[in-house]
Amino acid sequence: MFKPLKWKFTLSIFIAALLVWAGCANISVLPSKKKTSVSKAKSSAESKKIIEEKLEAESKAQGTTYVAREERKKKISDFCKKIDKRFTKYGWGRSKCENYPWNFVRTSVKSDPLIWMNFGDESAKRKETTIILCGVHGDEITPIKFCFDILDHLNEIASNKNKKHNADELKNRLVIVAPIVNPDSFFKKWPSRTNANGIDVNRNFPTRDFNSTAMKIWTNRYKKDKRRYPGKKAMSEPETLFQVNLLKRYSPDKIISVHAPLTMLDYDGPADRHSGGVVGSSANQLLIQMSEQAKGYKIKNYPFFPGSLGNYAGNERNIPTYTLELPSSDNRKSKKFWKLFKDSIHSAIMHEMTKEIDVVHDKSKSGSNSKQN
């Protein structure tokens, strides 16, 4: 009887000592934890303040309205509800818009937020940066769902929930997705191509030929087609300014702009290895790869126009610019389109423009499949 009692006594002393030690350890850890979170909170509050001041100054300089942080939160929440309503109408399910920490600085003509989302490695010194734009023409509705599918895909990868890819793939990469560049025209009862001022925001970029030819081409070639009106002044529209500022802010290595329904893949930018160096060669290789991964989707050299993104970014600034024209704006085909282009888009995001792919393979392909420059 005596022995078990002694054993129990020893054990309880041991447990008590352990508890005291754990308690002490806890006490000694807590203050430093608190200190770290307080200093973090302080520095993040300071950086938020700096960002806000910068945004306010930027808006003032550009003559646009500055929207304060709290107001932005409310606007995004309302905007997401609006998006979900449309998604339900088109049978697309939930957009998951509410789940993303959107960026937003300026608003459309009718005061909807012009949103974008970043995925990947913002702090990396050298990163492959891709900008993806959808909904530039609001009546092309499938590209908008397409961008939300891209967001879903990237979100799965970033949170390691994708079966084929993991978050490491986004290392040294930054992906910017702006899913609804022209919300005013998308949210109309009958969506239109032009924005609320009746201007085509893919003809309103400040290209060098804008002043001399934009109006002439619109009058003579397009017989004043209202759907293609470039506006009297380049970059007169907030939706154009939004796109230009994204390019300035992030200096992308490539741009993917999604439209419908021309059923083709178009490329503007450094032409080939001969005239465009490594980037030209790499960009063309990617073009062929994107087509091949989408069952040989048609590559076509579509001309660029005064005030178009292809002209502004691809032609004048040598940024490889890919225009993916989906086959239609039929909302019922959205799932099919995403399935067809998922691999192409993934490869395009991961592709590094400074790296040339197998040159021998490149040459053998370019003889038969590349677009005619």
Which residues from 69-88 bind Zn ion, rule CB under 5 A? Answer: none
The set of residues, in sequence order, having a beta carbon less than 8 Å from that of 125 and lying 6+ positions away, is none
| Distance of alpha carbon 111 from the chain centroid | 21
Nearest distance from C-beta of residue 259 to Zn ion, angstroms: 3
From 2-10, 34-42, 73-81, 139-147, give the range in contact with Zn ion by CB under 5 A: 139-147
Element (H, E) at 60: helix 2-62
CB of 373 to Zn ion, least distance (A): 23
Antiparallel, parallel or unpaired: β 321-325 and 254-259: parallel
- In angstroms, what is the minimal distance from the CB of 135 to Zn ion? 9
Determine the 3-state secondary structure of 165 from DSSP.
coil
Residue 129 or 243 having the CB closest to Zn ion: 243
Least Å from the CB of residue 91 to Zn ion:
22
Peptide bond into 320 cis (omega under 30): no
Q: What span, in angstroms and rounded, lies between the C-alpha atoms of 343 and 297? A: 13
Task: Find all residues with CB under 8 Å of 333, minimum gap 6, and list them.
Answer: 142, 327
Least distance between Zn ion and beta carbon 348 (Å):
19
DSSP of 211-248: IIIIHHHHHHTSTT-GGG---SSTT-SHHHHHHHHHHH
Question: Contacts with Zn ion in 233-262 (CB under 5 A)?
Answer: 259
> Which burial class, exposed, middle or buried, applies to 65 when counting CB atoms under 10 A from its CB (0-12, 13-18, 19+)?
exposed
Distances (CA, A) of 357 to 34, 346, 360, 370: 50, 16, 9, 15
Which C-beta is closer to Zn ion: that of 157 or that of 201?
A: 201
- In the complex with Zn ion, the residue whose CB is nearer, 67 or 299, is 299
- Residue 137 C-beta: closest distance to Zn ion, Å: 4
Q: Judged by CB, which is closer to Zn ion: 128, or 140?
A: 140
Distance between CA atoms of residues 19 and 23, nearest Å? 6
Q: Which is nearer to Zn ion, 138 or 280 (CB)?
A: 138
Q: In the bound complex, which residue of the shown chain has the CB atom lying closest to Zn ion?
A: 259
| From 51-59, 131-139, 147-155, 338-346, span contacting Zn ion (CB under 5 A) | 131-139
| Total of chain residues touching Zn ion, rule CB under 5 A | 3
x-or-dash pattern for Zn ion, window 181-220, by CB under 5 A? ----------------------------------------
- The whole-angstrom separation of Cα 141 and Cα 234 is 25
In the bound state with Zn ion, the residue whose beta carbon lies nearer, of 100 and 186, is: 186
Does 351 help bind Zn ion (rule: CB under 5 A)?
no
Nearer to Zn ion (CB atom), residue 183 or residue 280? 183
Q: How far apart are CA 311 and CA 203, in angstroms?
A: 10
Stretch that binds Zn ion, among 28-36, 88-96, 132-140, 149-157 (CB under 5 A): 132-140
When binding is defined by CB under 5 A, the residue of 72, 75, 137, 254 that contacts Zn ion is: 137
User: Could you list the residues that contact Zn ion (CB under 5 A)?
Assistant: 137, 140, 259
